[in-house]
Amino acid sequence: MKEKSLTHTIRVDQSPLEVYNAITNVRGWWSGEIEGETEKVGDVWTYRYKSLHMTKHKVTKLVPGKKVVWLVLDSYLSFVEDKTEWNGTKIIFDISKKDGKTQVVFTHQGLYPKHQCFTDCNDAWGSYIKGSLNNLIMKGKGQPNPKEKKIKRSLTAKKKK
């Protein structure tokens, strides 16, 4: 029996091309902590969320209005035993017209229920796909993770007189 990868589906009124453009605007819905380019086949980029999560992705397929695929080249998940659980998995967005709407089927191919992060990752992906990405598509504004604020401390303290 073939295991089922993590999947989420949304349907929106916008065109397949508008949906594609939102998906490829990764910083607009996933995170401000992205380094590298994310919009051309061959682009390699890194996503970070605090010290909990780091993944390095390669854009492997882009078909405007139809499909986006990223290969996870490297990963670090601090909250599971196998910190590299995502290595070699694919993140796939299939875009199509269905019943007068544009449908996005998001699949994290290779991330199965047997994986330790599946439940937490399912919840997180659900929030990003059904929340932030959906809002970026429908309202023009997603809710990406904000950039971590770096606290700068003054090296010179005010002297009390």
Give the domain ranges of the chain.
6-139
Return the percent helix, strand and coil in the chain, to nearest 5: 20, 35, 45
Secondary element (H or E) of residue 124: helix 118-127
Spatial distance between the Cα atoms of 29 and 115, rounded to a whole number of angstroms: 25
| CATH T-level topology, domain 6-139 | Alpha-D-Glucose-1,6-Bisphosphate; Chain A, domain 4 (3.30.530)
> Considering the entire predicted model, what is its pTM?
0.88
Spatial distance between the Cα atoms of 5 and 67, rounded to a whole number of angstroms: 17
Residue 58 clears pLDDT 80, i.e. is over it: yes
pLDDT digits (tens, 9 = 90+) for 89-98: 999 999 999 9
